[in-house]
Structure 1
Amino acid sequence: MKKIKDSEVRWGVLGVGNVCEKKSAPAMNIVPHSKLVAVMRRNEERVKDYAERHSVPKWYTDASELVEDSDINAIYIATPPHMHLPYTKLAASMGKPVYVEKPMARTFAECKEMIAVCEEAGVPLYVAYYRRALPHFIKIKEVMDSGTIGEIRTVHINMKQVIRPDAVVHLENNWRIDPQIAGGGYFFDLASHQLDLLDFFFGPITKAKGFAANQAKAYGAEDIVTGTFVFENGVIGTGNWCFTASQTAQIDEIIIYGNKGKISFQTFGLGEFVLESDQQEKQSFHLELPYHIQQPLIQSIVDDLLGKGYCPSTGKTGARTNWVMDQLVNSEYLKL
């Protein structure tokens, strides 16, 4: 069933920051039956500049004016997380489908409210967990589903980063480490991708426990998180995230162990993964990433809205990731 009445998805974007330069919004003019109609940002000079550089017909400095534009039939919310809930309410009140950046919101409670308002308005809600649609992650899932590494036993996330210069040099402008805006620190920004990807592979996490701390005290959010989690299908996982590690300790790795082999890969890498099994020699795979990294997911959203396909990243799947992060951090940062 079509989820919009038109034959074309005409997008309006709320918040055109860095994510809209290459990753997302430009793809809306490349995907068939999709068009980027208007953009909004409160800073008039910047939104006008964006519209001119990307040949967008309309620009606004007021969110309500964009959402009310009758030429627009779908809304992409590309703002920091603290505005996801209010802008979702605004879009739903006008009966327009919502595509919202990740993490879906600051807390699981906010996610549930977003789902409720969209269900009440009868509009779809999608979340920008675009790794669900990238070729190498789809291939990894196919390899696991084929039984090549046998029954999945455990999965382990290991992420270590040095403290980012922008975390301390431009602290006042770095919303990613302001819990009031982001819900937490870099864990919420980066680990959300990893946890959602594992949800795509294995289904929902039903149990999760963790510890979080602010060890370096360079900013006001957690900078280290460890945790364990159990998936609905019985797979058990662990995670270890540190954002104030040494240069030599830097790592981005997920390893999935089956009873006949393992798969290892980077979440934020170049489309590569390594397969090792008892039945064959070690294999390395490389699948090309799209120039606009969100294009495959946006394609699935357009297809879903036009009744031609299915989008794998919805409000319900996105909310599950927020629930897991809430359980792992479980701190005062969530008391917004």
Structure 2
Amino acid sequence: METIRWGIIGCGDVTEVKSGPGFQKAANSQLVAVMRRDAALAEDYALRHHVPKWYSDAQQLIDDPEVDAIYIATPPAFHKAYTLLAAKAGKPVYVEKPMAMNVAECEEMLEACRQADVPLFVAYYRRQLPRFLKVKELLASGVIGEARFVATTHTGQFKRSSWRVQPEISGGGLFVDVASHTLDLLDELFGPIVSVKGFAGNQGQHYEAEDIVTATYQFESGVYGTGNWCFSSYEDMDKNEIIGTKGKITFSTFQNSPIIVTTPEGEEQFMIEHPHHIQQPLIQTVVDALRGEGACPSTGVSAARTNIVMEEILRAYYQKA
């Protein structure tokens, strides 16, 4: 395929700036169709973004012969069903994160794509952002020696967040929505998590989903990790610290702050801005992979590992519910 022609299922907020324009601006890529169940909203999106076709039925978009690949940008509750339909039609899939509601759904999606011989990619776009590629480069440079452990602290004030705190739609609470990004990024930096233990609770009682999570884990590389996520705190704070034998690297998963390298010799900062369309670098790797010109670092296989970790951390909380 010279140009990969994309169709989007679920052209909601995430597709307005973060992802949708990336399919138009990536090299050898076109956005040719969008779908939303509300026909008026689908048409409005298509007109504003200069997309030639719009649908209110997902199957019609999937069956369109001018659509080569499918981007699923719905809430997680719908990821599996649309992935299976796309695979059945023989079309590659790029699905939003988290990959699915649970591990069992991830396995079904992977198997369907294997059987259909179509690739499955997942929108863990931080793997390809320049800021986090710099973190990976710094680790490889040995500036902090050998990495020993990584500590994550993510706190936030209570905010109402629609479907993101409805487990029947999102698969959990804000932990599932935001910590999945951090856990996937750590998978990229240190390899798969091979052992994990966690505790989850609901301290604020604002909704039924978990709002506090603590976890400990060990990576295949031998690095250890801890994470604390609290979404009923007094402040918004997001910090990862990688501690090594010669220094540490501090960076944020979400906040627009510099990477800080601290050693006995002093401190060095690297401020690397994100691209305007934040998914575009990863989308480019998907397009390149589909054209046989490269590989995408975020696949269904790698993304399923993050679902496995989160499910284990939250297991006791949802067994009690």
Q: Identify the TM-score tier after normalising by the shorter chain.
A: over 0.9
1:99 equivalenced with 2:94 (yes/no): yes
1:281 equivalenced with 2:266 (yes/no): yes
The AA in structure 1 aligned to 2:269 is S
Residue 238 of structure 2 is matched in structure 1 by 252
Residue 305 of structure 2 is matched in structure 1 by 320
1:158 equivalenced with 2:135 (yes/no): no
1:330 equivalenced with 2:318 (yes/no): no
Cα RMSD after superposing both structures: 1.3
- CA–CA separation in structure 1 for the residues paired with 2:199 and 2:106: 22
1:51 equivalenced with 2:17 (yes/no): no
Residue 200 of structure 2 is matched in structure 1 by 212
Structure 2 alignment gaps of length 5 or more? none
- CA–CA separation in structure 1 for the residues paired with 2:258 and 2:107: 34
Q: Deviations over 1:140-187 (max 9, x none)?
A: 1011011111111000010000001x34xxxxxx11011011110000
Residue 178 of structure 2 is matched in structure 1 by 190
Contact 1:271–1:289 (8 Å) recurs in 2? no
Residue 295 of structure 2 is matched in structure 1 by 310
- CA–CA separation in structure 2 for the residues paired with 1:30 and 1:277: 40
- The percentage of aligned residue pairs carrying the same residue is 53
The AA in structure 2 aligned to 1:185 is G
Aligned match for 1:78, one of 66, 73, 78: 73
Once the two structures are TM-superposed, the CA of residue 310 in structure 1 deviates from its matched residue by 1.2
Task: State the SS of the aligned residue for 2:266.
Answer: coil
The AA in structure 2 aligned to 1:211 is F
Once the two structures are TM-superposed, the CA of residue 113 in structure 1 deviates from its matched residue by 1.1
Aligned match for 1:109, one of 104, 108, 124: 104
Contact 2:8–2:70 (8 Å) recurs in 1? yes
The AA in structure 1 aligned to 2:23 is M
Once the two structures are TM-superposed, the CA of residue 45 in structure 1 deviates from its matched residue by 1.1
Residue 21 of structure 1 is matched in structure 2 by 16
Contact 1:76–1:99 (8 Å) recurs in 2? yes
How many residue pairs get aligned? The number is: 321
1:134 equivalenced with 2:119 (yes/no): no
- CA–CA separation in structure 1 for the residues paired with 2:257 and 2:2: 33
Task: State the SS of the aligned residue for 2:168.
Answer: helix
Calculate the TM-score normalised by the size of structure 1. 0.93
Q: Deviations over 1:294-320 (max 9, x none)?
A: 000000100111011110000011000
Aligned match for 1:222, one of 197, 210, 219: 210
Once the two structures are TM-superposed, the CA of residue 335 in structure 1 deviates from its matched residue by 9.8
- CA–CA separation in structure 2 for the residues paired with 1:320 and 1:143: 24
Contact 2:257–2:271 (8 Å) recurs in 1? yes
1:102–1:305: structure 2 CA closer, same or farther, 3 Å change rule?
same
Task: State the SS of the aligned residue for 2:31.
Answer: strand
Task: State the SS of the aligned residue for 1:267.
Answer: coil
Residue 3 of structure 1 is matched in structure 2 by none
- CA–CA separation in structure 1 for the residues paired with 2:136 and 2:121: 21
Once the two structures are TM-superposed, the CA of residue 281 in structure 1 deviates from its matched residue by 2.4
- CA–CA separation in structure 1 for the residues paired with 2:10 and 2:319: 24
The AA in structure 1 aligned to 2:249 is I
- CA–CA separation in structure 2 for the residues paired with 1:18 and 1:86: 21
Aligned match for 1:9, one of 4, 7, 14: 4
- CA–CA separation in structure 1 for the residues paired with 2:38 and 2:258: 39
Task: State the SS of the aligned residue for 1:51.
Answer: helix
